[in-house]
Amino acid sequence: MSAENAALNAPSKGISPKQLFIGPWTIAVFTWRESIRKKTMVGFLILSLLVIFGATVMTSMMQQDTVGSAAAAGPLETQTKLIKDICVSAISIFGALITIFISASVVPSEIENKVIYTVLSKPVRRLQYLIGKFVGVQLTVLLNLVLMGGLFFIALWAREGMPPTLLLWAMLLMFFEFLILSAFTFAISCTSSSSVLPTIAGLFIYITGNLTEYLKDVSVRAEHGTSMEQLVGQLAQILYNILPNLQNFSLKNDIVQGMVNDPPPFEIIPNLIVYSLIFSAIGFCLSYVIFLRKEL
Amino acid sequence: MSTVIHTENLTKTYESAFGGQDVHALKSMSFEVQSGEIFGYLGPNGSGKTTTIKMLLGLIFPTSGKIRILGSEDITSNHIRMNIGYLPEGAYYPDFLRGEEILKYYGQLYGLSGADLRNRIDAVIDLVGMSHARKRLMRGYSKGMRQRIGLAQALISDPKILILDEPTTGLDPIARKEIRDILARLRDEGKTLMISSHELMEVELISNRISIIYEGDMKVHGTIDELLVDREVVVEVTDLDEPGAKQLEERGLTLEDAISGRARVRVPEGMDVYNAIEICRSAGARIGSIAPRRETLEELFVRVVGGASRAKAEKAA
């Protein structure tokens, strides 16, 4: 019997415990490889890199014009703040858009092009599939953050002459902010066979998650208002309690106002990471509950 | 022969969300697929073929009824999944991957790795005749090549059962023949194949048994030899002129391929063959040959589905 025939006639074996982890990891790597080739994602990434690069170069050119003037120190500081403000905002916004877009599309696109049928007809549990997809999304988000943050890190280091370590902490917190955003967008994507609705929902989560302080404000102001205003206030209070506060994860003010190598607020970082992991776990569990009995 | 797929009163109803009419995609469907056979699962669009297949694979859930695969009702267990290969209709495979990378991905999902995986990839890629293009990117593949890679991914774990949804649809005649030959070879190797298809000629050529379903109902089920019986006699005639042809049609005979005085005359079921010959002679035609003619699967399909469709229209009226 030839090797080929032996392989063809090999007995079908059961699944090994190792496969419980290999399956999701295989799906995660496949998802990552596919995601980094998506035109929309590549477009956002290039745009963000252009913004970071452009802001740094343009303000450097402005800096050269002002060298020699008596008031150079003032504008120099302002320009540095401007660069930091633009670049951190760009990383945050483009990072969020990429996170939403990828999280919203990985499952619906596989339903649409029927790849999911070939995967779930194999010895892959729905939970394993979801874990693989979710991990694949996080790998993609992480890669984007590394690229965007890395470019800005180098530019800022070159400009300031010292490693901007605070930026690394900001990137870390941004990743955990995006983890929450991704988990809930991913959960909504499991209800849909199109990525449009989950993308809109993801944007809604991002915007409201960054505006939860306003919800608190609304609820306080409504305390002594009319009954209608009180009702709105109660609703705002409920939303404030339920929704994750994404603004907590922002170190933008610390970066813009302080020195680039200032120590981060160490006391809140572990809390924020746990906060993110709890919300992300809730989001992921929600996606599993939705997907478990989903008719494909 | 043992039963590898067994369905019992399998029913699928999609309930309307807003008080509309429920959709009965499958109504008490019962059938069996025996080991080592090719089972043709036929029906027009929307008849419930893909719904049945998705239920067999655990992708959707029956409203009621039972499914047993390889004797087990736990059809989503790893043991059952290891023994089923599935090729969906028109599946997409990422353009940035090479043929063998696709197979590596699916092989890993079965827990294959190292030399085992490499051997399986070599074996299936050779089986589907894609050795020459295994390192080519998917974007360079023709439709037939993509379908062959699809078939290879379904075979990567050496499953006992293969479920194929429209495996030859959209392929050119040569690619169709190649896929058909592969399927026949797999049957000869002892695999069980369930094929859902619109390509009736293909199914007729390779299937042992078929089912025809219409609107979720089983209309016909049996072996090809049981179902496609000799229903008619065909008389080949020559020297048939136009008035003669008209005369034959008036007397209830059907002419096929009439050209330059030659024609095939179909004698309908119930008419005496001698009587038909006499009619041909009286019309001035010369008898070339007389032969029984077996109904084709296409004719059976049209008769069954057309009959069901007419019955439904009459009921509605």
- Shortest CA distance from B156: residue in chain A: A8
User: Is the pLDDT score of B67 beyond 90?
Assistant: yes
Contacts of B57 (CB under 8 A, 6+ apart): A117, A120, A121, B75, B84, B86, B163
Q: Is residue A265 part of a domain?
A: yes
Rounded to whole angstroms, how far apart are CA atoms A2 and A4? 5
Q: State which amino acid sits at residue B285.
A: A
Give the Cβ contact number of residue B242 at 10 Å: 9
Q: Is residue A3 part of a domain?
A: no
User: Is the pLDDT score of B52 beyond 50?
Assistant: yes
Q: Is residue A225 part of a domain?
A: yes
Torsion of CA A28, A33, A39, A42, to 10 degrees: 90
Average pLDDT over residues B140-168: 91
**Interface predicted TM-score (ipTM) over 0.85:** no
What is the dotted CATH code of the domain comprising B3-227?
A: 3.40.50.300
Q: Is residue A200 part of a domain?
A: yes
Q: With contacts defined as CB-CB under 8 Å, which chain B residues touch A114?
A: 88-92
Give the pLDDT confidence score for residue A11 in this predicted structure. Answer: 40
Closest CA to B300 of B234, B167, B203: B203
- Tell me what percent of the residues of chain A surpass a pLDDT of 90: 39
Where residue B6 falls among pLDDT bands split at 50, 70, 90? Answer: very high
User: Is the pLDDT score of A69 beyond 60?
Assistant: no
Q: Are B100 and B135 in contact (CB under 8 A)?
A: yes
Domain that holds residue A171: 21-63+73-292
Give the pLDDT confidence score for residue A60 in this predicted structure. Answer: 67
Is A22 an interface residue toward B (CB < 8 Å)?
yes
Sign of the Cα torsion B119, B124, B127, B131 reads negative
Is A131 an interface residue toward B (CB < 8 Å)?
no
Rounded to whole angstroms, how far apart are CA atoms B159 and A217? 62
Give the pLDDT confidence score for residue A122 in this predicted structure. Answer: 92
Q: Is residue A153 part of a domain?
A: yes
- Buried-exposed string A146-168: b where 16+ CB fall within 10 A, e elsewhere: eebbebbbebbbebeeeebbbbe
Give the pLDDT confidence score for residue A65 in this predicted structure. Answer: 58
Give the pLDDT confidence score for residue A3 in this predicted structure. Answer: 40
Average pLDDT over residues A228-248: 88
**Which CATH number is correct for B230-294, 3.30.70.1150, 3.30.9.10, 3.20.20.70, 3.40.50.200?**
3.30.70.1150
Integer CA distances (angstroms), B227 to B41, B220, B223, B316, in order: 14, 8, 6, 29
Interface test with B, best of A21, A118, A129, A292 (most B CBs within 10 A): A118
Q: Is residue A11 part of a domain?
A: no
User: Is B113–A22 a contact, with Cβ atoms under 8 angstroms apart?
Assistant: yes
Give the pLDDT confidence score for residue B30 in this predicted structure. Answer: 92
User: Is the pLDDT score of B4 beyond 80?
Assistant: yes
Q: Are B11 and B63 in contact (CB under 8 A)?
A: yes
Give the pLDDT confidence score for residue A12 in this predicted structure. Answer: 45
Give the pLDDT confidence score for residue A173 in this predicted structure. Answer: 93
Which tens digits make up the pLDDT trace of A145-161? Answer: 998 888 888 888 888 88
Which tens digits make up the pLDDT trace of A7-46? Answer: 334 444 455 666 778 889 999 999 998 888 888 888 888 8
Q: For chain B, what is the mean pLDDT?
A: 88
Is A39 an interface residue toward B (CB < 8 Å)?
no
3-state SS assignment for residue A243: coil
More confident: A62 or B182 = B182
Average pLDDT over residues A207-233: 87
Closest CA to B256 of B269, B272, B270, B240: B240
Looking at the partner chain, which of A3, A37, A123 has a beta carbon nearest the beta carbon of B82? A123
Q: Is residue A2 part of a domain?
A: no
Give the pLDDT confidence score for residue A7 in this predicted structure. Answer: 39
**Range of lowest pLDDT (A125-134, B13-22, B41-50):** B13-22
Average pLDDT over residues A66-85: 66
The burial class, CB within 10 Å (0-12 / 13-18 / 19+), for B313 is exposed
Which tens digits make up the pLDDT trace of B225-280? Answer: 888 876 678 899 999 888 888 888 888 888 888 888 899 898 887 788 888 899 99
Q: State which amino acid sits at residue B76.
A: T
Domain spans in chain B, listed from the N-terminal domain onward = 3-227, 230-294
Total structural domains within chain A: 1
Average pLDDT over residues A98-122: 92
Closest CA to A107 of A99, A115, A95: A115
- A–B CB contacts, 8 A cutoff, strictly below: 109
Give the pLDDT confidence score for residue B108 in this predicted structure. Answer: 92
Where residue A252 falls among pLDDT bands split at 50, 70, 90? Answer: confident
Which tens digits make up the pLDDT trace of A166-218? Answer: 888 999 999 999 999 999 999 999 998 889 999 999 999 999 888 888 888 88
Average pLDDT over residues B91-115: 89
Q: With contacts defined as CB-CB under 8 Å, which chain A residues touch B189?
A: 8-9
User: Is the pLDDT score of B215 beyond 50?
Assistant: yes
Q: Is residue A10 part of a domain?
A: no
User: Is the pLDDT score of A2 beyond 50?
Assistant: no
Sign of the Cα torsion A268, A274, A277, A281 reads negative
User: Is the pLDDT score of A56 beyond 70?
Assistant: yes
User: Is A26–B108 a contact, with Cβ atoms under 8 angstroms apart?
Assistant: yes
Looking at the partner chain, which of B113, B126, B157 has a beta carbon nearest the beta carbon of A12? B157
Backbone angles phi, psi at A59, to 5 degrees: -70, -30
More confident: A4 or A74 = A74
Which tens digits make up the pLDDT trace of B157-207? Answer: 999 999 999 888 878 888 888 888 889 889 998 899 999 988 888 888 888
User: Is A26–B109 a contact, with Cβ atoms under 8 angstroms apart?
Assistant: yes
